[in-house]
Amino acid sequence: MPTDLNSLKQDLGRRMDGALETLRREFGGLRSGRASPALLEPVRVSAYGSEMPLPQVGTIAVPEARMITVQVWDRSLVNPVVTAIRDAGLGLNPSADGQLVRVPIPQLTGERRAELSKAAHKYAEGAKVAVRGVRRDGMEQIKALEKKGTISQDEQTRWHDEVQKLTDAYIRRIDDALAEKDKEIKQV
């Protein structure tokens, strides 16, 4: 358990960064009408008797704004890659061209944009819950330190305020990331 404010803030900040990074990965998987390699990174392919992430069986590239390509390294995995992308629930229809899989990104409908926006809000709320959980842990550590007599009540109050400021800053960063993703999703 940290015994000074700086090490406590560093620990909590590191954990809150984890929540923010998870949110960014989840946002990367939301299709916004523009091609992005992050869209296919979570896709898992049945290969060599197990499930493998797509980036481990081929190179993902974005040659143009509305097209993603996957250069599959092993010719025998082309059809499993096509099937995995099609079955991933992303609304994409890939086609094979030798060892290259082309994935055109269709225009988003208004209804699909609303669904994606709703999913983005859900992810952001999950990140906020995670950040608040980290704050709660920090507050409990501070109370325990005060109870043991390691810090005074005045220090406890000051530490609580610092942890709250840190939490507020991360919540703002989550809100900013959500606003940016929402704008991207709703852009026609």
The CATH number of whichever domain residue 138 belongs to comes to 1.10.132.20
**Residue 8 to residue 158: CA distance in whole angstroms:** 13
pLDDT at 42 over 90: no
Percent of the chain whose predicted confidence (pLDDT) is above 70: 95
pLDDT tens-digit series, residues 59-118: 999 998 889 999 999 999 999 999 998 888 777 889 999 999 999 988 777 887 888 888
Q: Is 167 helix (H, G, I), strand (E, B) or coil?
A: helix
pLDDT at 32 over 70: no
Q: Are 134 and 16 in contact (CB under 8 A)?
A: yes
| Residue 6 CA: distances (Å) to CA of 11, 67, 125 | 9, 47, 27
pLDDT number for residue 49: 87
Question: For 10, what's the count of Cα atoms within 13 Å in the CB-facing half-sphere?
Answer: 7
> Which residue range is the domain that position 141 belongs to?
5-28+109-186
Enumerate the β-bridge partners of residue 53: 44
Q: Are 105 and 140 in contact (CB under 8 A)?
A: no
pLDDT number for residue 126: 94
Q: How many domains does the chain have?
A: 2
Mean pLDDT value across residues 143-170:
91
* Same-domain check for residues 122 and 179: yes
pLDDT number for residue 108: 75
DSSP-derived secondary structure letter, 49? T
pLDDT at 26 over 70: yes
